[in-house]
Structure formats: structure tokens, C-alpha cells
Amino acid sequence: MSFGGGFDDDGEVMSEINMTPLVDVMLVLLIIFIITVPVITHSVKVDLPRASNTPNQVKPDTVNLAVNAAGVIHWNTDELTPAELDARLAEAAQKQPQPEIHLRGDRKANYEEVLKVMAAVQRAGILKLGFVTDPQG
């Protein structure tokens, strides 16, 4: 590395980079960085309130509707007429959240009877209707 001041007139082109100004600029940038980092990371200490993050989920009730081989409708364990079924479904549709309806149809039940129960659930405005089957059968 040459430290010449360029006073000798050899006519040659100087091919080496003078590193002194580059080092000076880098040291100035380093000092600026060291001074500004504590200012950037300075923050106000605040004691924030604590809150639990568990959601409050209300599980809807489950209503088991069953239609046996004779076409008799059962609400969980209670035997109902079609008029009583409509009344109970209308009452259940008003609840928040609406209950889930699990419909079980006997294998030997008339398909029309099961469809009537499905239509009653739909007329009442209940949104969740599921069918329960026997996986072994």
C-alpha cells in the first residue's frame, strides 16, 4: 500500500485505493449507530392488565329424535305426537345457541315418517340436523 502524496511526477496512474477516508467514514457511522440505538429502544414502562385468553364457548344442547318401526316419534325418551313435536321444535329454535338435532330412524320405519320429522325440524328453523346410524349394520 502506497502512502505517497502524489508529488512525484512519474506519469504513472495510481492503482491502489486510499483506505483512510473509507475507515474514517465507517468509524463515524459506527459512532452514530452506537449513539442512536439506545434512543430507538427507549420505551415507557407500563404495567398492562392481565386477561385470560380462553374463549367462552357455550356448548349447544343435543336433542335425540327417534322414529321407531311403528312411526312413533321420541324426543330423547319422551313419546310425542306430531303436534307436540312441532311445539317443542319451535321452543328449541328460540334458544341461543340452538340445540343440535340427532335423528335416528328405525331400519324398518316408513321413510315417509322420517321425512316428516325432518320437515318439522326445517320448518321450525333449526339449522343443525344430523343422522345417527349403526356402523355395524
Show pLDDT as tens, one digit a residue, over the chain (137 residues).
555 555 555 667 777 888 888 899 999 999 998 888 877 776 778 787 887 777 777 777 899 999 999 989 999 989 999 999 999 999 999 998 899 999 999 989 888 999 999 999 999 999 999 988 888 76
Which of 108, 120, 134, 25 lies closest to 65, judged by CA? 120
- Indicate whether this model's pTM tops 0.85: no
Spell out the domain ranges in the chain. 62-131
Distance CA 113, CA 119 (A): 10
Q: At the top level of CATH, which class does the domain 62-131 belong to?
A: alpha beta
Alpha helix ranges (H) inside 42-128: 82-93, 111-124
Distance CA 64, CA 49 (A): 44
Helical pair 111-124 and 82-93, crossing angle rounded to 10 deg: 30
